[in-house]
Amino acid sequence: MAESSVSITHLDSMPKASVRAADGTAASSTLGLAFGSAEQRGDTLVVRVRPDEWYLLGDGAAAMAGGLDLSGFASTVNVTHSRHAVRVTGEHAADTLAKLCTADFGDAMTPNGAAWGNSIAGVTCDIVRDDIVSDDRTGTRSYLLLFDGSFAAYFLGALEDAASEFSLHT
Amino acid sequence: MRKKCSSISGQCHPSRRAFKQGQPEVCFELSDLLAQGGLRDVEAGSRPSKVELVSNGDEGIEPAKCGQVTHALILSIRTDLVLLPYRSLRHTDSMGKNKPPAKYSAAGLLWKGLRRQSWPRVWREPEFKSSYDVVIIGGGVHGLATAYYLAANHGITDVAVVDRAYLGSGGSGRNTAIVRSNYLTPEGVAFYDRSLDLYNSMSNDLNLNVMFSERGHLTLAHTDSALRTMHWRAEVNKLQGINSSVIDPAEIKKLAPSLDVSTDTRYPIMGALYHPPGGTIRHDAVVWGYARGADAHGIDLFQQTEVLDILTEGDHGSGKVTGVRTSKGDISTPIVVNCTAGWASTISSMVDVQLPITTHPLQAAVTEPVKTFLPTVVVSGSLHVYVSQTDRGELVFGASVDPVATYNMSGTLEFTEELAGHVLELMPGISKMRLLRQWAGLCDMTPDYSPVMGPTPVDGFYVDVGWGTYGFKAGPVSGEQMAACVANGETPDLIKPFELSRFTEGNLVGEKGAAAVGH
Amino acid sequence: MLLVPCPNCGPRNAGDLSYNGESHARPDPKTCTPEEWRTYLYLRDNPSGWLVENWYCSSGCRKHFKIERHTLTGELRSAILPGSKPGLTKGETK
Amino acid sequence: MSNRLPAGEGEVLDRTQALSFTWNGKKLVGFEGDTIASAIMANGHHVFGRSMKYHRPRGGLTFDFWDPNTTVQVDNEPNVRASHRKLKAGMQVSAQNVWPSLKYDIKAANGLVGRFLTAGFYYKTFMKPAALWPKYEHILAKFAPGGEVDLDTPHGRYDKRYAHPDVVVAGGGPAGLSAAIAAAEAGSSVMLVEHEHHVGGHLLWGSEADRARATDLVAAAAAAGVEILTNSTVTGRYEDNWIAISQRNHPGVVERLIKARAKTLVVAAGTIERPYVFKGNDLPGVMTSGAVRRLINLYGVKPGTQAVVLSANESGDAAIDDLRRAGVSIARVVDALTGERIVAANGSKTRVKEVILDDGAKIKCDLLVTAVGWTTPTSLLNMAGDRPVYDANAARFFPAGAPDNVLATGGMVGDGSIEDLLEHGRATGELAAGRAVVVAHRLQAATARATAVVSPEPNYPADERTPLDRWPHPELFRASTHGIVDYSEDVSSKDLYSAAAEGFDSVELLKRFTTATMGPSQGKLETVNTVAVLAQARGESIADVGTTVWRPPYAPISLGALAGRINEPKRVSVIQPWHEANDATPILAGQWVRPDHYGDAAAEVRNTRENVGIIDVTPLGKLDLQGPDVSKLLSLLYTNKWMQLPIGGVRYGIMCAEDGVVLDDGVTARLGEDHYLMTTTSSGAGTIWNWIEMWLQTERPDWQVHVMPVTTGLTSINIAGPKSRELLSRLTEIDLDPKAFPYMNVRQGTIAGVDDCVTWRIGFTGELSYEIHVPSGHGLATWERLLAEGKDLGVKPFGLEAQRIMRLEKGHFIVGQDTDGLSKAPVTGLDPLLKLDKDDWAGLPEVKWTLESGDHPIIVACQPDDGSIVPEEAAQILRAGTSEIVGRITSSRMSPTLDRSICLAQVAKEFAAAGTSLEVLLVDGHRITATVMEHHAHFDPEGERLRG
């Protein structure tokens, strides 16, 4: 990734669903995962972002949400338009975010597959580390950031400003 | 105690009282100097040849010939020579049992300088007694002012003031020394305006220059709702006769040219509440002035004396005070006044009086000095910052209290970051100035942004607490009123709205109205 | 900045959470006296020492929890989610 | 006259790079690597400025960061530390605190006046007459020390970053380097922070062997992966090892603040050489041994020609060697270890001339070097709770009581050979690394992550380091004469004596009264001497007097760096680009930027009342509520009843805080059996979300409700006006017939081709109106469709101001404007909404008691009798003919619809009856009358228009 030390991509049309489900419900056991982790299932990234909330991200989100058994105390909301997604990728992705966020982006605390909520540049975000694994098995750091879309113009500006000391590609 | 005092509190000028009581009064006029065209016109080197001053030893200075105009000497800090005509000096021998303090004056300074003498102790190191009429807990402005006025206004001098550290070690020495009276409610305005009056005459009343700088006070509004609140305050203020009005950005720029009043900022300055009588004061000097004054009246000040318990008889939470247990020993007393901040709940819990208080740190910081450029006090509620520049050139900053309740005064990095960000929003040109020191004080916050003053369910236990971020401003009037409250056994009208009972009765003070409106 | 041990998210900077202060039991609004209700509303122990207080992990798991904190030293003893047993997480102590 | 020495082995200069600059307007040349001060000194100038109070000329004292005497103005930057800042070509450097000029002789004034200007003199004078104090104050302010701020200085680029290193090492001397290397070799991530421009500490100005060792250490640190930050300072240590680092040499930024959560902090700040207090100790040419060593060895500057050296230690002895090598003749070595002392120094106005010894000998010289001992800069340790203890044998303070995650090493904790210091540093680094491993483990274990490995906790390593020796050192603080203790504050030991005699005899009172230690070096040089002089004055030992606590920051940090990039979050709706393109005047409402108007708010009102208008109300807080217990939740939080709301119904409600004060209001719709959509005020959205979560999680944990904020997900557009039905019907298949879709109802369906829209019929403006909530990806297109489809109907956008006028015409109150922080629900006058017969709701008891007492103000509509006058919002309402406040105008506007002024006001209950005449005090002081109206609504009180 020499030509691009950090890149910022606004994924504004990515379908997203939120599933809330209490322990012991069918939806909870179907989605599974430990709190704070993410897993790619087919074309959907499943993220257990809070103890009782999952994000379903990607083209299969609606279908997966629609297919859940919502018996018991469980519900879904389409958050495609509420939560915007930005992907920050590259060698300096973590360095860029470390200028704006208190989180420890090191492997020990936030390994690939980690998911957590944190404020970035004053905006509350849900962060998913899902490194891009290329053919030669060299992972490239990548973070998916979900945040309230009304902040988008400000937030992208702050990210790009932070990234500008590295070699930024948008 | 419940002694009645013949003088009506606040009516009698302290210096007149002092004269009546047979203490020396020294004053000197500079009107001659003014008549010559002011200080700038005084020629360098025009030193008078004759000086007539006689010392009466440790008690300060005394002129050789009372009432005779004697000229004059140089007091200069550099090349400006300042003439101080020294006249109308009177002295009557002190017949009172209290030894008067050394009189401070320019002439005294000269005299001591000429004779290479040092000044006597500013207050005594008293002997610890086992009994007092009144024990005041807390050696800050509130406690010392209460002590001073008990003696000065009510003749009650068998009083001990105890402090766990040194005098003025708490909020009195940690605040940003801003005074003003442009509050929202009529009761608040009346109260703080009396305080401002006392501050105005304090240097003379206490014979110690507290360096009151009436430099004007600007409270900025960045939103239409904030502007509405400013108008509200201005209107209430004006009805109370307080000089307070809302001004526009152009006028703000004239008063404080360093402010960015352009409209394209994130927090545009839309207007400000301007309060010309507001200003700054040397906070330590106020503490020392009251301490010295109280001491001169025979009141005993005990530093490094911690209150361990308050002794009572009768039921918990409703008994009667009998004494105080301190780290230096027990004192029997029927009256204890809690004048603490940061320990108000702890002290009150000794007599099972629960207070509507949570304790939060309020942080402050100061920059390296630069040549003065900011002539007024600037406050922005929305940006949680207030700033003034001292005569020494340092910018002094304060903020709003930290949200997390704590008794820890170590200060945070975040405070300095937010402060700097907000200050640079207001004054973008000072990014190269450097923060020199940060510190914190403890603020006892109440639900209605107003203090808790007066008696409690425990007989003899009085409180003067809950001063939030505005305790320093209120120091003098609180002392005056608490002294009246203790001496007369009834709560004066000026502090009636602030009694503890208002919380269980549901009569909160309206200052919260402004604090909760808009941002 | 203080590290606050969210029982779910682990130690987090206090600035990432919301502080809700001292815990007080809510009286029955139908039967309480004005004094009881206003004690609940306004009066606080405010100890200079150990205090059980409420926090909200507003940017993380969005759970309310309690911690026991020493208001003078900053030391933390435990973090508790509502309904769970005390002593769930040991805080970092100084 | 040049003081530049021939090139030396250890110098940090690049003599091939000559740099020109100006000093007080005079053109000088230095070299790359010079500090500003070394360059000025090399050019033969010895006076850098004048002292603050007595305006005595001052020369360099320590020639390092803490030098109190070499602060200068550089271009538009005040207070630059010339002994630390590297010289750059083109710098315009000038002396500060000189008036009228650096050379002006004020000897007469300082000699004459000094004794009158004792510490605290200003407290004792200028009292009378009071009117004159401002003039004095004005003059005093002219004496303010420091440089000048150029208010047009642009905000340069400053930056910040967070870091999570295992170990931060503060100080890059031998012990710090050794600790950093050991920690890194043990596997820790390490940041080594050095205040000066090079790591190596005193090795850099030492022997050839010392310099070689420094080079080896730096190479070893680099090899071990230590992140070395030079020209950077650990400025603070806050709770839980939250470390602030000011980095002044990061490319592209002026200064950068690094905020590091260190698992262990190693403090290796070394020692600071203490000045000696004696008469004449502030003459130019009097300096510390470290100063001459740095000048000669690092900067190739000859500090004088003939020197007297007072030496009590090896640093003084080394300085003697350095001076000899530099060709400075040694007039006399005063060996403090054998009891020799100096008494005073005399000088000309610009230079020391002779030194008087205690045997009466007078030695001619132009340089007096003192080596009298060390101060331990425990500042960072103090911030961690350490309270240093004085050791009389070693004549300095040593740290005591730092927490386990803060370790000190090096000269701060003892003395020894370089080998001893390196060994102690190594042991400290290993200990720091070992403890960091445990802290890291605890952090991981406490953070729930599927991938976090939680193994048994490693043992917490105990501190088994062999302590460094403490070498004996004579206690040398003050000679038999008085001299300056605090150079930057111009406080002498005599001042301290007299202040103590006056009763300011505790360290804190003394500091406050004299301002000693309060200046730019914050007591790094002065505190210990201050304590020592106070101890002398009190006749006590230093240990009894105690010490003072250094407050952060360790060294001054620029406001720019603390501010960093200014990131202030801003929110906009997806329609904002359209608003901007159409000349909307923006208004800030909390974080939101919204259109206030599009040029003429009154015209927008008229068009809406006559035709149809649309407004972007996206910031309205919206919460999606799902679950079987939502109706119970609504009943608990709103004052009115919610159990019977039918599907498709919309209801208005008021929420109170527990003290009965109005918290928020809004409408909530029932979309399905267990599905509701709640709206809140724009500013209340976040608060209410947290409020609901608090109730659900802490008070009603058994209730099943899921809350999801959807404010941004739905773009909200209100279509208002008599033609709104016609307009909306062109975009939707939803049956808009009033019978099918009556007032206060909600429908879901497709609008403008967009599925999943929610439409409710409500009427904040008082007109027939529909509020549509469109998935925001389609918000802008829908807005544009409405404008295009409604062209023939006269559709126009309207902004916040027009909406506010129309709501005022309808008499709707705004929470936080017409109510305030004390307004309990009965103030709204909406008693029918306050259901006291419900078992519970937030704030119920206070509302009940308030209603029972009847003692509360109330919101009324009123109209000035002269309809052309608009009383200001906040105009006070008075009891007629008095100045007693009985209420205030809370909202007021000129109504374009009624063509007269209209108001809402809060008044005391006795003034609330319809027809009551109110006396209103205008801001200009005039009083007018206004009449209380029967209804809150000034316009269409029966609501025929909105129900039509």
Sheet holding B335-338, edge to edge: B300-302, B159-162, B134-137, B335-338, B461-465, B452-455
Buried b (16+ CB within 10 A) or exposed e, A22-45: eeebebbebbebebbbbbeeeebb
DSSP D698: I
The residue among A47, A75, A129, A155 with the most chain D CBs within 10 A of its CB, best to mutate, is: A75
The residue among C1, C9, C64, C84 with the most chain A CBs within 10 A of its CB, best to mutate, is: C9
Chain C residues touching residue A34 (CB < 8 angstroms)? none
Query: What are the structural domain ranges in chain A?
Result: 6-12+82-163, 16-78
For the entire predicted model, the pTM comes to: 0.90
Chain C residues touching residue B407 (CB < 8 angstroms)? 48, 71-72
pLDDT tens for D1-32 read 689 999 999 999 999 999 999 999 999 999 99
The residue among C16, C58, C84 with the most chain A CBs within 10 A of its CB, best to mutate, is: C16
Q: Is the pLDDT of residue C88 over 60?
A: no
Closest CA in chain B for residue D244: B413
Q: Which pLDDT score is estimated for D908? A: 96
Using a CB–CB cut-off of 8 Å, the residues of C that contact B are 1-2, 14-15, 19, 21-22, 34-35, 38-39, 41-48, 51, 53, 71-74
Put simply, the answer to whether A79 touches D710 (Cβ < 8 Å) is: yes
The residue among D241, D438, D687, D698 with the most chain C CBs within 10 A of its CB, best to mutate, is: D698
Q: How many CA atoms lie within 13 A of B494 on its CB side?
A: 19
In three-state secondary structure terms, D761 is: strand
The residue among B435 and C92 whose pLDDT is bigger is B435
Put simply, the answer to whether B356 touches C42 (Cβ < 8 Å) is: yes
Put simply, the answer to whether A37 touches D571 (Cβ < 8 Å) is: no
Amino acid at D569: P
DSSP C26: P
E strand or H helix at D137: helix D133-142
Q: Is the pLDDT of residue D353 over 90?
A: yes
The residue among B81 and D836 whose pLDDT is bigger is D836
pLDDT tens for D495-506 read 999 999 999 989
Alpha-helical runs (H) found in B215-268: 224-239, 249-255
Put simply, the answer to whether A124 touches C61 (Cβ < 8 Å) is: no
The residue among C2, C4, C62, C81 with the most chain A CBs within 10 A of its CB, best to mutate, is: C62
pLDDT tens for D291-329 read 999 999 999 999 999 999 999 999 999 999 999 999 999
Of the candidates D490, D493, D503, D514, which has an alpha carbon nearest to the alpha carbon of residue D113? D490
Is D398 within 8 Å of D413 (Cβ atoms)?
yes
Q: Judge B/A contact: 3 or more CB pairs < 8 A.
A: no
Q: Which pLDDT score is estimated for D48? A: 94
The residue among B318, B504, B505 with the most chain C CBs within 10 A of its CB, best to mutate, is: B504
Q: Which pLDDT score is estimated for B397? A: 95
Chain B residues touching residue D77 (CB < 8 angstroms)? 432
Enumerate residues 6+ apart whose C-beta is below 8 A from A136.
none
CATH topology of domain D477-561: Arc Repressor Mutant, subunit A (1.10.10)
Q: Which pLDDT score is estimated for D103? A: 57
Chains in contact with C, where contact means 3 or more Cβ–Cβ distances below 8 Å, are A, B, D
Chain C residues touching residue B504 (CB < 8 angstroms)? 34-35, 38-39
How sure is the predictor about D449, in pLDDT bands with cuts at 50, 70 and 90? low
Q: Which pLDDT score is estimated for B95? A: 30
Tokens of D683: 């500013």
Enumerate residues 6+ apart whose C-beta is below 8 A from D256.
D158, D159, D160, D161, D246, D247, D248, D250, D561, D564
Closest CA in chain D for residue A157: D567
Closest CA in chain C for residue A117: C60
Put simply, the answer to whether D849 touches B208 (Cβ < 8 Å) is: no
How open is the CA angle D98-D72-B176, to the nearest 5 degrees? 85
| Alpha-carbon gap, residue D920 to D148, rounded angstroms | 49
Put simply, the answer to whether B38 touches D115 (Cβ < 8 Å) is: no
Amino acid at A161: D
| Alpha-carbon gap, residue D824 to C60, rounded angstroms | 34
CATH class for domain A16-78? alpha beta
| Alpha-carbon gap, residue D351 to B448, rounded angstroms | 62
Q: Is the pLDDT of residue A117 over 70?
A: yes
Put simply, the answer to whether C30 touches D840 (Cβ < 8 Å) is: yes
Q: Which pLDDT score is estimated for B176? A: 83
Q: Judge B/D contact: 3 or more CB pairs < 8 A.
A: yes
CATH topology of domain D14-103+275-371: Ubiquitin-like (UB roll) (3.10.20)
D337 CA: distance to closest CA in chain A (Å) = 53
Cβ of C83 under 8 Å from any chain D Cβ? yes
Q: Which pLDDT score is estimated for D213? A: 96
Cβ of B263 under 8 Å from any chain D Cβ? no
Chain D residues touching residue B437 (CB < 8 angstroms)? 518, 522, 551-553
Chain A residues touching residue D449 (CB < 8 angstroms)? 34, 36-37, 109-111, 114
Chain C residues touching residue B416 (CB < 8 angstroms)? none
Query: What are the structural domain ranges in chain B?
Result: 24-115, 134-173+283-356+448-516, 217-276+358-445
Chain C residues touching residue A111 (CB < 8 angstroms)? none
| Alpha-carbon gap, residue B519 to B225, rounded angstroms | 7
Closest CA in chain B for residue D153: B429
D637 CA: distance to closest CA in chain B (Å) = 20
Closest CA in chain D for residue A75: D626
Enter the CATH code of domain D576-807: 3.30.1360.120
Tokens of D125: 């004078």
B361 CA: distance to closest CA in chain D (Å) = 14
Chain C residues touching residue D690 (CB < 8 angstroms)? 18, 56, 58
Of the candidates D690, D663, D701, D670, which has an alpha carbon nearest to the alpha carbon of residue D824? D663
- The mean of the pLDDT values for chain D is 93
Amino acid at A166: F
Interface predicted TM-score (ipTM): 0.93
Q: Which pLDDT score is estimated for B209? A: 83
Go through the domains of chain C in sequence order and give each one's CATH number.
3-80 (3.30.2270.10)
Put simply, the answer to whether C94 touches D839 (Cβ < 8 Å) is: no
Put simply, the answer to whether C11 touches D446 (Cβ < 8 Å) is: yes
Q: Is the pLDDT of residue C15 over 60?
A: yes
Put simply, the answer to whether D697 touches C11 (Cβ < 8 Å) is: no
Q: Judge C/D contact: 3 or more CB pairs < 8 A.
A: yes
The residue among A131 and B105 whose pLDDT is bigger is A131
CATH topology of domain A6-12+82-163: Gyrase A; domain 2 (3.30.1360)
Q: Is the pLDDT of residue C18 over 60?
A: yes
Q: Within a 10 A sphere around the Cβ of C51, how many other Cβ atoms?
A: 22
**Angle between helix B471-488 and helix B186-205 axes, rounded to 10 deg:** 90
Put simply, the answer to whether D822 touches B518 (Cβ < 8 Å) is: no
Chain A residues touching residue D624 (CB < 8 angstroms)? 77
Enumerate residues 6+ apart whose C-beta is below 8 A from D466.
D423, D424, D427
DSSP codes of every residue in B112-165? HHHHTPPPPPSS--PPPPSB-SEEEE--SHHHHHHHHHHHHHH----EEEE-SS
pLDDT tens for C35-85 read 999 999 999 999 999 999 999 999 999 999 999 999 998 888 877 765 443
Give the CATH number of domain B217-276+358-445; options: 3.40.50.1010, 1.50.10.20, 3.30.9.10, 3.10.129.10. 3.30.9.10
Q: D14-103+275-371 with D576-807: one CATH topology? A: no
Name the residue facing D242 among C1, C41, C63 (closest C-beta). C1
Across the range D730-759, mean pLDDT stands at 95
Q: Which pLDDT score is estimated for B332? A: 97
A124 CA: distance to closest CA in chain C (Å) = 6
Put simply, the answer to whether D698 touches C92 (Cβ < 8 Å) is: no
How sure is the predictor about D118, in pLDDT bands with cuts at 50, 70 and 90? low
Q: Which residue's entry shows tokens 């029997």? A: B332
Closest CA in chain D for residue A13: D777
Put simply, the answer to whether B372 touches D141 (Cβ < 8 Å) is: yes
CATH class for domain D813-947? alpha beta
Q: Which pLDDT score is estimated for A4? A: 59
Q: Per the CATH hierarchy, to which homologous superfamily does domain B134-173+283-356+448-516 belong?
A: FAD/NAD(P)-binding domain (3.50.50.60)
Closest CA in chain D for residue C18: D690
Q: Is the pLDDT of residue D932 over 60?
A: yes
Q: Which residues of chain B have pLDDT under 50?
A: 1-99, 515-519
Give the CATH number of domain D159-271+380-446; options: 3.50.50.60, 3.40.50.720, 2.60.40.1230, 3.40.50.2300. 3.50.50.60
Chain B residues touching residue D497 (CB < 8 angstroms)? 118
